[in-house]
């Protein structure tokens, strides 16, 4: 189903294919560089995954990752951005300890005004994702209430319009007061 402004509704199958393609790109990057990577996707509930809002959310994530890497003087081996109808995403390959990378990305997610809208996954050279749990960090909170996000999304506690309104509010507020 298509909306105004070329907004495409993405099917579950298309999302699963996108996930497989992302995993394949990650595996290729790990094989090529043998260094940890940060896979960036964004939190965008509902069937429309691309458009001005998701692209803006990724843009800010890229700016933050770029400045983190240069501030820490880390060695950036590769940086690829993919603007897809299933949602914009990126892969950074950074030559630094995965735990150090994960701590820094968790800090971005937790302290940046729209960090809650980013999924910054750190993948080790063994191909395993490092979880927040492994670094003794709490689960990510829901966008609208204090409960764990996973719980609310499973039970569909909040409506899509409520969630989208909150996401738009967060991004608009950030753009007005960066």
d(C-alpha 178, C-alpha 86), whole Å: 27
- What is the structure's pLDDT at 128? 83
Residue 169 domain-assigned?
no
Structure-model confidence comparison of residues 171 and 146, the more confident one: 171
pLDDT digits (tens, 9 = 90+) for 43-102: 999 999 999 999 999 999 999 999 999 999 999 999 999 999 999 999 999 999 999 999
H or E element: which one contains 76?
Answer: strand 75-82
d(C-alpha 86, C-alpha 100), whole Å: 30
**Which of 133, 174, 136, 168 lies closest to 150 in space, CA to CA?**
133
Helix (H, G, I), strand (E, B) or coil at 65: helix
For the residues of 82-143, what is the DSSP string, one character each? E--TT--EEEEEEES-HHHHHHHHHHHHHHSTTGGGEEEEEE-TTSPEEPTGGGTPPPPBPS
Domain that holds residue 8: 4-138
DSSP 5: G
Averaged confidence pLDDT in the chain: 91
Residue 159 domain-assigned?
no
pLDDT digits (tens, 9 = 90+) for 116-137: 999 999 999 987 887 776 776 7
Among 20-24, 112-116, 133-137, which stretch is predicted with the lowest mean pLDDT? Answer: 133-137
- Over residues 25-53, mean pLDDT: 95
Full-model pTM: 0.91
- What is the structure's pLDDT at 20? 95
- What is the structure's pLDDT at 18? 95
- What is the structure's pLDDT at 57? 97
- Over residues 3-10, mean pLDDT: 71
- Over residues 150-160, mean pLDDT: 91
Residue 63 domain-assigned?
yes
pLDDT category of residue 178 using cuts at 50, 70 and 90: confident
- What is the structure's pLDDT at 6? 59
H or E element: which one contains 42?
Answer: strand 37-42
The CA distances from residue 97 to 37, 38, 106, 135, in Å, are 10, 12, 14, 13
- What is the structure's pLDDT at 88? 97
Please state the domain count of the chain.
1
DSSP 146: S
Residue 146 domain-assigned?
no
Residue 111 domain-assigned?
yes
């Amino acid at each position: 189903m298509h909306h105004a402004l070329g907004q495409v509704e993405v099917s579950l199958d298309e999302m699963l294919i996108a996930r497989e393609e992302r995993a394949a790109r990650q595996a290729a990057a790990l094989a090529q560089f043998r260094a940890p990577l940060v896979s960036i996707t964004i939190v965008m509930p509902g069937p429309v995954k691309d458009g001005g809002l998701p692209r803006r959310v990724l843009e800010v994530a890229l700016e933050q990752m770029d400045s983190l890497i240069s501030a820490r003087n880390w060695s950036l081996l590769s940086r690829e951005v993919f603007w897809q109808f299933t949602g914009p995403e990126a892969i950074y390959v950074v030559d630094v300890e995965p735990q150090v990378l994960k701590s820094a990305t968790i800090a971005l997610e937790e302290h940046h005004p729209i960090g809650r809208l980013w999924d910054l996954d750190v993948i080790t050279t063994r191909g395993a994702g490092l979880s927040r749990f492994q670094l003794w960090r709490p689960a990510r909170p829901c966008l609208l209430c204090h409960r764990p996000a996973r719980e609310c999304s499973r039970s569909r506690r909040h409506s899509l319009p409520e969630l989208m309104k909150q996401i738009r509010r967060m991004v608009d507020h950030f753009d007005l007061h960066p």
